[in-house]
Amino acid sequence: MTAEHLLADLVVVDFSELLPGPFFTQNLVELGARVIKVERPGGDNARALGPGLFAAVNRGKEHVTADLRDDADRRRVAELVATADVVVEGFRPRVLERLGFGPERLTQRHPQLVYVSLSGFGQHGPLSDEPGHDNTYAAYAGVLSLAGRPGGPPEWGPGVPVADLCAAMYATSATLAALRHRDRTGRGLCVDVSIRDCLAHWLNPRLGGFAHNGLSDVSEQRASALSRPGYGTFACADGTAVAIAAIEDHFWAGLVRGLGLVEWTDPRWARHAARRAATTEINAAIADAVLTRDGRAVVAELSACGVPVAPVLGPGDALDAAEAEGTGRVFRHPEAGRLYRFPVLFSS
């Protein structure tokens, strides 16, 4: 069963711009929804960042240009909203309310409507009117403090806008839950998605670990989050890098065998709890061993020993590898180039 038919009867009117809202509604498009994107004259600000980025998160949508300060355009958009199951907006609170398309007004007129507001800090609270982008949301969420190397300044650089995309995924699941509620009760819901709060929710597994280990200092928390024995990214002799994840004890045994780490074969290092105390020394020994080998050799040797290991691929290399798999995960878009399809498979 293909994903693009699952939401085939769903109509979405999308007022959002840039990345979080459009990526969220792009998920709905890929699941089969009809998404009508309403753009102000001049277009979504993402258009100024290049056609490829805009196309990547707005493909398959219908596009309508409307000036919501114009009476005729407002009437036209109101007619679209009357046909919708879901309305999505990504502005700061009360922006669309002032233009006549706020949640209270629309849900009174259309009780079955699911109205999704996706903003930096939610619709209420002391920061609700503050502007923001990915790194500022991460800073307020407490996540940025854990990024970067121990002893250095926090650095937010995972390569993708994690906070924005995280919130888009929460918005997707929350919207589907609200639609399920509507199916049961006949009434829609207002869905308030805070980008900061979504990213903060991802901290819960770490917070549990910090509490259990009594780590209250931020520098200790960062070291705990980033440093694990047998886990990390290591440079190879040919200029490539590999990611190794030998956390569990049986993976550790394979790592020692695969890299020939004779000095770490002592049974006292067989348990992860003991290795934690020697994290720096262990990872230095791994780094030294890996640096004498080419990346392909490291991957081959450790894979043969059952150790989780992978070459660090660039985006283009990863696309090449995905295409070579022949599973249809990659397709070509005329403006955005090669892109990935919706990553979840469905079957009856």
- Please identify every residue annotated as catalytic: 164
C-beta separation of 11 from 85 below 8 A:
yes
Residue 11 DSSP class? E
Residue 137 vs residues 58, 90, 119, 127, 264: alpha-carbon distances, Å:
23, 15, 10, 11, 42
Q: CA angle 322-247-270, nearest 5°?
A: 140
284 CB-contact burial (10 Å; exposed 0-12 / middle 13-18 / buried 19+): exposed
Interatomic CA distance for residues 329 and 343, integer angstroms: 7
Rg of the Cα trace of the chain?
A: 24
- Judging by DSSP bridges, how do beta strands 62-65 and 330-333 pair with one another? unpaired
Angle, CA of 140, 122 and 67, to the nearest 5°: 120
User: b/e per residue, 109-134, with b = 16+ CB within 10 A?
Assistant: ebeebbbbbbbbbbeeeeebeeebeb
Please check whether residue 22 is in contact with residue 57, taking contact to mean a CB–CB distance below 8 angstroms: yes
CA 75 to chain centre: 36
Which residues face 191 on adjacent strands?
Answer: 116
